[in-house]
Structure 1
Amino acid sequence: MAETIMVVEDDRQMARELVRLLENYGYRALQVEDFSRAVEEILEAAPHLVLLDINLPVQDGYTVCRQLRQQSQVPIIIVTSRDTEMDELMGMNLGADDFVAKPYNPQLLQAHIARVLARSYQSGESRVARFGRVELELSRSEAICGERRVELTKNERQILWVLMRARGEIVSRDALINELWQSDEFVDDNTLTVNINRLRGKLAEIGVEGYLLTRRGQGYQLCE
């Protein structure tokens, strides 16, 4: 089942575009309709993650973040044009899990979403992502094809999950590096290439060939 993401954005056109973007990445996307009841709508929807703007009518995003955190541990990513260090610090102090400045690269936003979801839900219940012939069991960090499975490293798992969420679209090298940079390992262009090659080797072990494609000058793409 796709994760549900709640969009809290008062610019209706931007909110609709963000909802379409999330749906294209395979998520179930909802948006707050009544900003006087923003917290109540979020709690009623029980999403897996909230994308929260700061500049909102009735009450600002900081207030929503604080009130939401008093009642729920749902992951919150602040997405806003107010991108000063003080804005980021305030958001984190109020309990936000991440901070993305507008205008954002859609692939980088997706990488932030994937990282926060993985960090928030990788323990506990088993979570499985699927694209084409491959399943990714996040809690066990294993790739599965039919009856065969192989264990992945943390970086291999994150690369595969980001590519799966792209649903066959090309993901740039920069977007993948940004995703892996958030881990405790140093990642540069060569490190990414090594991890991609190792992931291909792991997939080959379970009989999956031609699944992870390199698009020269553009990035990487999964093929169903």
Structure 2
Amino acid sequence: MEKLKILVVDDESRMRKLVSDFLVKQNFEVLEAADGEEALDKFYADKEIALIILDVMMPKINGWDVCKEIRETSKVPIIMLTAKGEESDELLGFDIGADEYISKPFSPKILVARVEAILRRTGKTGEDEVLEIGGITIDRLAHQVKVEGKELELSYKEFELLTYFVENKGIALSREKILNHVWNYDYFGDARTIDTHVKKLRSKLGSKGEYIKTIWGMGYKFEVEE
């Protein structure tokens, strides 16, 4: 499936990089703009932009005006970012057509989750909401896992870990790669964190825990015998 394009607009290069890194990690293609004028130029030049993450306080043209202009011709989803937490600002954002409003500082992982939720809502993502393999069913939206129809009680990280394994079935995954994707790149723990979670996950999966194979000296691989 072709990667969805997201336009990230912020005059702070550090903020653009932070948001972009998280989006790229989730398989999105990212375009960047440092001000409102550049944002409009890039938006008009590329008809495949699926969503815009738009900062409010910017030079040349502010985020409110960018949003208003885009709304005159397009219904592309827009997430507004602002350092202001005033309710009146939030209401203004919705009044001019923003789909979501996030105040700084924010967690990039939460932002990515909002992006994915909006794209699902607007039907722009082809991602399967339910993954099924070897008697295991993962419902992403409900955050629920069933084994042979019986629901499992998994922690948030166990759910994320299992989903990541299933999405990458048959692929050898290093501990570093798992840390980067499940615990995110700024996590400074050690690999034993993964081993502990894998041990618990295997135990909860019962006989299906055998699907998580250990690759000695490297990491793990999720494999279901056909």
**TM-score category of the 2 structures, normalised to the smaller one:** 0.5 to 0.7
Distance in 1 separating the partners of 2:111 and 2:38 = 26
The aligned residue for residue 6 of structure 1 is 7
**What is the aligned length?**
167
Give the deviation of 1:168 after TM superposition.
Answer: 3.3
Give the C-alpha shift of residue 80 in structure 1: 1.4
Q: Deviations over 1:12-63 (max 9, x none)?
A: 2221222222212322111025642422312323311110000011111011
Moved beyond 4 Å, runs of 4+: 148-154, 159-167, 207-211
Distance, in Å, in 1 between the alignment partners of 2:210 and 2:111 is: 29
Q: Is the 8 A contact 2:212 2:221 kept in 1?
A: yes
Q: Measure the CA separation in 1 of the matches of 2:116 and 2:100.
A: 11
Contact 1:65/1:95 (<8 A) preserved: yes
**What is the percentage of aligned positions where both structures have the same residue?**
24
- Alignment correspondent of 1:89: 91
CA root-mean-square deviation: 3.6
Cα separation, 2, equivalents of 1:77 and 1:161: 25
Residue in structure 2 matching 1:155, options 135, 142, 153: 142
Which string of whole-angstrom CA distances, capped at 9 and with x for unpartnered residues, describes residues 171-207 of structure 1? 8xxxxxxxxxxxxxxxxxxxxxxxxx9xx98xx6xx9
CA contact (8 A) 1:80 1:102 kept: yes
Q: Secondary structure at the match of 1:121?
A: coil
C-alpha contact 1:142 1:149 (8 A) present in aligned 2? no
For the residue of structure 1 that corresponds to 2:72, the secondary structure is helix
> Contact conserved, 1:114 with 1:161, CA < 8 A, in 2?
no
Matching residue of 1:142? 130
In structure 1, stretches of 5+ residues that fail to align are: 129-136, 172-196, 212-221
Cα distance change of structure 1 residues 29 and 223 upon mapping to structure 2, 3 Å threshold: farther
Indicate conservation of the 8 Å contact 1:32/1:42, yes or no.
no
1:119 aligns with one of 118, 121, 126: 121
* CA distance in structure 2 between the partners assigned to 1:223 and 1:65 by the alignment: 44
Write the distance in 1 (CA, Å) between the matches of 2:211 and 2:142.
20
Specify the code of the residue in structure 1 equivalent to 2:92.
M
User: Structure 2 CA distance, aligned partners of 1:63 and 1:48?
Assistant: 19
Q: Are residue 42 (structure 1) and residue 43 (structure 2) matched? A: yes
Q: Deviations over 1:51-104 (max 9, x none)?
A: 000001111101101111111111111111112111111111111111111111
**Which position in structure 2 is the counterpart of 1:132?**
none
- Residue from 60, 84, 94 that aligns with 2:62: 60
The change in CA–CA distance for 1:50 and 1:208 in structure 2 (over 3 A counts) is: farther
Which amino acid letter does the alignment assign opposite residue 24 of structure 2?
A: E
State the match for 1:29 in structure 2.
Answer: 30
- Report the TM-score, using the length of structure 2 for normalisation: 0.60
Structure 2 residue runs without a partner (length 5+): 145-155, 168-177, 185-200, 214-219
**Which is greater in Rg?**
2
Seen in structure 2, the aligned counterparts of structure 1 residues 20 and 151 have a Cα distance that, compared at 3 Å, is closer
Residues 208 and 168 of structure 1: CA distance in aligned 2, closer, same or farther (over 3 Å): farther
Given that residues 36 and 63 in structure 2 are in contact (C-alpha distance below 8 angstroms), is that contact kept between their aligned partners in structure 1? Answer: no
TM norm structure 1: 0.60
